[in-house]
Amino acid sequence: MNNPPPQKTTIEKDDNDNFPDTINTQTNITSTQQTTTIEANNPVIEEEKITTPPEKLYERQTIKDVFIGQKCGENNLYQIIKLIGKGGMGKVYLAITNSPEKQDELVAIKFLSKECLLAENKEEIKHRFNREIGFLIALNHPNIVKFIDQNIYQLQENDQEYSLPFYVMEYLRGQTLSDYLVKKVRLETSEALFIITQILGGLRIAHNNGIIHRDLKPDNIFLVPTINNKYIVKILDFGIARSLNTMSVVRLTNVADYFGSPYYISPEHIKGVADLDTKSDVYTLGLIFYEILSGNKPFNNYDDLLLTRGWLGVHNHKQPIPLIHQIGCENIPIALNDTIMKCLNKNPNDRYKNAEEMLLEIVKITQEINLTQKSTTIKNNQIKSSISHPTNNSKLILQLIITLIIGIVIGITTITIFRPILEENINIDNQENVS
């Protein structure tokens, strides 16, 4: 391959500068190296060679994860396989169990990050992490991710040793509700109620134990598929959950906080209140359930507020659109619409008190829907049966006609046989009356 002709660049000399009169630049590029030659009258710059292959110049450098392949737990019970998730306080890894009783059982392990141990408020973070472990131990329910074990991992890094607390939980196969809604957009009423009921069932145990989740959202709700094409719901991440008797004020004080505040949050939680309670979770449940049934948020024309005051402005100043006014939701039962809208009241005292109170209402609505569907199904089956079996109807009609004809024949025969006798009796009665 012929080299391209040299490129010549001329720069006019200024009296105050010490530039050379001209600079000639010639670049030769081959498949294995790049050679750049710069020639000038004065000064002379030596040739520079770059021996790195072109395809390697922009290759992304990967950072080795020090946890992968390591063992942790008592007697090195768990071997870490891969990273499966990240959070504000740490990372979650997939691990395999090495024990005769649970050979090759997969589990998920959440480690508190090294950075958290170096933070100024490290004691508060460690307390929050341990509190999350305590909640999972206390909340033993089929609709809450199952706690298995906890321990400390000694991490050696750069001549430093870090004692990282971790806990082990069941490994869930499936998808988050958020991912499921991306595929489905909105769910049919029956499927939505099936999922809603399980969410409320798990949260009911938390509320009854004086615990509020404070971070309910589709990303923290996991769906485990079953053999009958349904899902077992698991509530995840009690990392910022709080006990009602230890609640403190959490206040957002500047505009940046408003922009960064999440969507699935109650108005009082954004503003910060000292007596945040279970009704805050009820509000976020209303947001989630509304989205499950409609595929939309319950607000419209909120861009101005979102730009100026964030979700604080939207949740406090925008009234939610009734669920039945959303496209595709026109046939949703009024009772279900009213239940969801009650959750979204601005005033916490106008909502359901807790998950249990809402669960009772959802169960009642589900039963009514099932009865209505059952009645409709029976009627439809009767109609289908009459349409699909016309010969049976014909036979029935024919039997009725034959029975009617037989009745008429018997009647005529009876009259014919007994008429002379009746006439004779009538004549005898007349003669006796005359005499």
How far apart CA 192 and CA 339 sit, in angstroms, is 14
| Sheet with 34-40, edge to edge strand ranges | 7-10, 22-29, 34-40, 48-50
CB half-sphere exposure, 202, CA atoms < 13 A: 27
Cis link prior to 43 (omega < 30° from 0)?
Answer: yes
Please give the C-alpha separations between residue 152 and each of 136, 278, 390, in angstroms, as whole numbers. 17, 33, 75
Catalytic residue among 21, 149, 215, 338: 215
215 belongs to the catalytic site = yes
* Beta-carbon count within 10 A of 257 CB: 14
Tokens of 100: 């005769």
Tokens of 281: 């979770």
Please give the C-alpha separations between residue 426 and each of 240, 307, 415, 419, 435, in angstroms, as whole numbers. 106, 108, 15, 11, 15
> Angle 417-421-425 (CA atoms, 0-180°, nearest 5)?
160
How far apart CA 37 and CA 47 sit, in angstroms, is 5
Give residue for tokens 């009911």: 204
> Angle 58-60-63 (CA atoms, 0-180°, nearest 5)?
150
How far apart CA 414 and CA 423 sit, in angstroms, is 14
Residue/partner pairs of 355-360 with CB below 8 Å, 24 or more apart: 355/200, 355/203, 355/204, 355/206, 355/207, 355/278, 355/281, 355/282, 355/285, 356/200, 356/204, 356/207, 356/208, 358/200, 358/282, 358/285, 359/197, 359/200, 359/201, 359/204
- What are the residue numbers of the active site? 215
